[in-house]
Structure 1
Amino acid sequence: MTKTVLCYGDSLTWGYNAETIGRHAYEDRWPSVLQRALGNQVRIIPEGLNGRTTAFDDHLADCDRNGARILPTILQTHNPLDLVILLLGTNDMKPVVAGAAFAATQGVRRLIQLVRNHTWGFGYDVPDILIVAPPVISETANPVFAANYRGAIEESAMLATLYRDLADEESCGFFDAGSVAITTSLDGVHLDAENTRALGRGLEPIVRMMLGL
């Protein structure tokens, strides 16, 4: 039976390209790379939105970017699911949103609760959850991103440790995206094509293990 995986994330999942201010080619985005690596026995659903937070409002946004408010609808849309991959927290680092790694960690905890308490129905099982810590924000000469993420480098450097501890507490899987990918200095936040592909390849072993493949 085909396994179904939801990739719930922000612009790193959407595939934002800092060089073109557009979107990476479909085949370069990490969910697509993961899909190719796992083959036809798995169906990968990419659900990335630029600017999405874990559980916080962004009142400057042109759409609802609160990940906690949108998640139940997304879960019901794609039900049933075998695995939910959560890759969020970078946008929480903006001072105007939350500005703290601890806040992002609490936001991810809320997302875990939403997955586990969702009314799945039809006798479907609650999916497993894989928490992915985003790569650390890096120095950039881009004045807009540097201003939007003021103080975020130090905070984002704490995400992997906090997320790992949360995964242990909540019995979730954990992967540190920073172990295989680094953010581009063009804006300090996003991944170039090489690094988003590396993330997809890096995730394959743990996703395969969590799905029992």
Structure 2
Amino acid sequence: MTKKITILGDSLTYGYLPMGEGKMAVGDNWPSKLADLLAQEYQPVNIEIRTDSQPGRTIVKPLVDFGFPQDNAMDNLRALYGKTSPFDLFIIFLGTNDYFGYDAYAKYNNLHDFNIEEKIVTSLHDIIKGMKNLYVDNYEEPDYKVLVICPPKAITLNDGELLTSLPDAYENYFSKYNIPVLNLQAVANPGAEDQVKYDGVHYTPTETPAVAQAIFDIITNQDLLRLNK
């Protein structure tokens, strides 16, 4: 038996190292560590994990130009479906770049009532609905589970802890649709920005095991691969 997991993410899934030091080794990144945990838990079931992640990725087309090449999940959804379906679990780990983009847009345009959190969660829901529609359009049954991951805090030198409004927004919104949410801010945050080793946003290899463990725990506790006896 094979169980397939598709992961849609940004630099926090890609393995982008803090301070622009490149990409961490595949074995050091959390998807690889998650695969090891699941393989051990569910042997002899074959667990196949496919990731689609890019640094700078947003959920939908951003409202501001970040000054570097970007893509967004919505524009890549059809390609992702073509490469990875059918799957048993769809994990979406996005929102960090959207938060910074919307925050910059609101400040630049002096928009005091700009609801960043609502825009992020509704855009994520559009991704979930879009993937389901691709299944239906291709006469396939969307028989898979969805897990939404709330990004960790960004811990900055000058502005303190950012993104802290996201966990409540994620959990309150997706609870209405019975879609589980993992709040990484409770269990796995990056090192605080020090402009030497940490940028306050990205994980180091020593921090990825906690990410993998948290995702493993919610997959097994909620039986998201439907393998528990």
Q: Matched residue of 2:155: which SS?
A: coil
Which residue is 2:55 aligned to?
50
- What do residues 144-194 of structure 1 show as CA deviations (whole Å, max 9, x unaligned)? xxxxxxx7944x101111111222112212111122211222212111212
Q: Which one-letter code corresponds to 1:26 in the other structure?
A: V
Q: Which one-letter code corresponds to 1:190 in the other structure?
A: H
Q: Indicate conservation of the 8 Å contact 1:7/1:84, yes or no.
A: yes
Aligned residue-pair number:
203
Structure 2 CA distance for aligned equivalents of residues 113 and 190 of structure 1: 28
Query: Superposition RMSD on alpha carbons, in Å?
Result: 2.2
Q: Which one-letter code corresponds to 2:215 in the other structure?
A: L
Q: Does 1:78 align with 2:84?
A: yes
Q: Which one-letter code corresponds to 1:88 in the other structure?
A: L
Which residue is 1:22 aligned to?
22
Q: Indicate conservation of the 8 Å contact 1:56/1:98, yes or no.
A: no
Which residue is 2:113 aligned to?
none
- Among 162, 177, 199, which residue is 2:211 paired with? 199
Structure 1 CA distance for aligned equivalents of residues 140 and 118 of structure 2: 35
Q: Indicate conservation of the 8 Å contact 1:6/1:84, yes or no.
A: yes
Question: What's the TM-score, normalizing by structure 1?
Answer: 0.85
Please say which of residues 119-128 and 79-88 is displaced more in the overlay: 119-128
Which residue is 1:167 aligned to?
174
Rg larger in structure = 2
- Among 122, 126, 129, which residue is 1:106 paired with? 122
Structure 1 residues 157 and 107, CA gap change in structure 2 (3 angstroms): same
Structure 2 CA distance for aligned equivalents of residues 27 and 169 of structure 1: 36
Which residue is 1:6 aligned to?
6
Which residue is 2:111 aligned to?
none
Which residue is 2:156 aligned to?
139
Q: Indicate conservation of the 8 Å contact 1:11/1:49, yes or no.
A: yes
- What do residues 2-28 of structure 1 show as CA deviations (whole Å, max 9, x unaligned)? 111011110000001115621111111
Q: Indicate conservation of the 8 Å contact 2:187/2:210, yes or no.
A: yes
Structure 1 residues 97 and 199, CA gap change in structure 2 (3 angstroms): farther
Q: Matched residue of 1:65: which SS?
A: coil
Structure 2 CA distance for aligned equivalents of residues 171 and 32 of structure 1: 28
Structure 2 CA distance for aligned equivalents of residues 204 and 198 of structure 1: 10
- Among 128, 132, 138, which residue is 1:116 paired with? 132
Which residue is 2:42 aligned to?
none
Structure 2 CA distance for aligned equivalents of residues 7 and 98 of structure 1: 30
Q: Which aligned pairs between 1:59-74 and structure 2 lie closer than 5 A?
A: 59-60=65-66, 62-74=68-80
Q: Does 1:210 align with 2:217?
A: no
Please say which of residues 61-70 and 103-112 is displaced more in the overlay: 61-70
Q: Indicate conservation of the 8 Å contact 1:56/1:97, yes or no.
A: no
Which residue is 1:146 aligned to?
none
Structure 1 residues 14 and 56, CA gap change in structure 2 (3 angstroms): same
Identity percentage over the alignment?
26
Q: Which one-letter code corresponds to 1:116 in the other structure?
A: K
Question: What's the TM-score, normalizing by structure 2?
Answer: 0.80
